[in-house]
Amino acid sequence: MTEAVFREFPDQSRTHSVPLSHVSLEMGHLYAEDFAHEAARLRAHFAEAGPWVDAVAVSAARATGGRRPRVSTCFLVDDYFAPFSSPADVVPALIGEAERAGLRIDYLVRESGLAEADGFPLARSVAGRLVESPPPGSNGVRPAAAETGWLANGRRSPASGPHADPSAPSGWHPPHETAARRHSVFLDAELWDGQGAGRTFSCAFLAAVWQLLRLGLLRHHGLPVLRPHPWDGSLPGTWEELPVVLQLNPKAAPFAAYRTCSLLPSGYLPVEHAVQVILEQIQVDAEALHQVAERSAAEGVHLPDSVAERASYIFYPGP
């Protein structure tokens, strides 16, 4: 059984803090097709990851003024879009291949828990914090992202139909990125499809929730969500029975961190571009942000104001 995502306390107005590492390093993201290649795909991934894990630790030490940094590692398993195999088969294989490469996975996380865990609709709660940045000249004719399930980083091309902008000139005009550096890199990201209970969140949106979780910025009634569950060595037969955040290493640094770094195949680059666009338009819990700012300042760790800029990536050529 997984532990409850939150518990009710009398001091609901208080925002509780979470322990923080300096860096949360994502060492990979496993899909069903990756596991279908058995050990070969995992072995190749961890062999590629090894040198970068060392580089992240060196970079983190520089950011802390030479002090030994707190770095925790995590691995995300996709049991949301295409559940596969079972924890009893997957987890030992992951741990074994990581150890073969001289690496250790501190935390294992189930992607389905980023959508909903223990009855708490985490992704929907984050969706409720979307605050779109209106591009210059917009007049509010287009429905909001909360209604359409699409979020852009600028002005879209004019559209025809009932939601067309009546003030826009006729004919085609190119889209425009709001913060373009001379030339636009326009992105219109799908956040979900379906309606009501049938809604399916996109990989990009769940990845944005994933970043916020790793940055220690998610709260429900002031309480942290999805706290790590210590591993007792047993593994259930189904993913639903496994805690969403499983702490494999009892001596691990804290799961959440001031900054995140994700080591991913280059095929993830378009998704992570969308993640940056989404993060820039989410209103994060103000008190959680304040807590992190105070603690980072006390440790002499500089953090950018932008939450999106606290996430970094290392992309390597993937299969």
Determine the pLDDT at residue 119: 85
> What one-character-per-residue DSSP string does 59-97 give?
HHHHHTTTSPP-EEEEEEE--SSS--S-HHHHHHHHHHH
Residue 100 forms part of a structural domain: yes
Q: What percent of the chain has pLDDT over 90?
A: 63
Residue 151 forms part of a structural domain: no
Q: Is 70 left (phi over 0), alpha (psi -120 to 50) or beta?
A: beta
Residue 170 forms part of a structural domain: no
Residue 107 forms part of a structural domain: yes
210-228 confidence digits (pLDDT tens): 999 999 999 998 999 999 9
Residue 30 forms part of a structural domain: yes
Residue 36 forms part of a structural domain: yes
Structural domain boundaries enclosing 67:
21-113+214-266+284-316
State the CB neighbour count (10 A cutoff) for residue 279: 22
What separation in angstroms does the CA of 140 have from each of 22, 48, 63, 172, 248? Answer: 41, 47, 43, 20, 48
| pLDDT greater than 50 at residue 1 | no
Q: Which of 57-71, 270-284, 303-317 has the lowest mean pLDDT?
A: 57-71
Determine the pLDDT at residue 38: 67
| Domains of the chain: total | 1
Residue 89 forms part of a structural domain: yes
Residue 305 forms part of a structural domain: yes
